[in-house]
Amino acid sequence: MAKVSLRTWDGRTKSFSFWWVTAFGSGMLKPAPGTWGSLVAVIAGYFMLKAGVDQIEMAAWVIGITLLSTKLIGSIETITGIHDAPEIVIDEVAGQWIALIPLVGLTGSPILFGIAFLLFRLFDIIKPWPIGWLDRHVDGGFGVMVDDLVAGIMAAIVIWLLLTLDLLDWAI
């Protein structure tokens, strides 16, 4: 399947799947739709954590989004013949929320959320192993999701290490 835009899909605006996978249209913003999707996710995640969502609840949100999105992305690929269109940013939402999990209980500092945003985007863009390998070798809706999930895990590990080593005390 060719890597082309969902903008060519005539039925997009009437489809719940379209609005879901584009994170309610944020994936239509230019340039860098993935960055816009991540920004929406970090802002929503900030307010979720401020409201008291814990690690288990955040993980449950990620799992739910991943399951639903995998199915919806797969159906969009079937309908349009487009794999991993740039407008699909729900994978960035799930990955970004994973990167925020170490920040539960540390919601007073927007700087930490900025660091989580930057680390996630760094891993998502440069795609170090195994992210790049997964991006190239896993197909379908889960193939779209999995590289961002792993980028989120890698960002979360770095944040956790930095917090554990007290290297982010200045930002708390």
* Tens digit of each residue's pLDDT, the chain (172 residues): 445 788 888 888 899 999 999 999 999 999 999 999 999 999 999 999 999 999 999 999 999 999 999 999 999 999 998 989 999 999 999 999 999 999 999 867 899 999 999 999 999 999 999 999 999 999 999 999 999 999 999 999 999 999 999 999 999 8
pLDDT for res 109: 86
pLDDT for res 2: 43
Residue 66, domain extent: 16-171
Q: Is residue 3 part of a domain?
A: no
Spell out the residues 6+ positions from residue 16 whose beta carbon is closer than 8 angstroms to its own: none
Q: Residue written as tokens 């917090």?
A: 163
126 SS3 class? helix
Q: Is residue 5 part of a domain?
A: no
**pTM score:** 0.94
What is the number of structural domains in the chain? 1
Q: CA 146 to CA 116: how far, in whole Å?
A: 18
Q: Is residue 2 part of a domain?
A: no
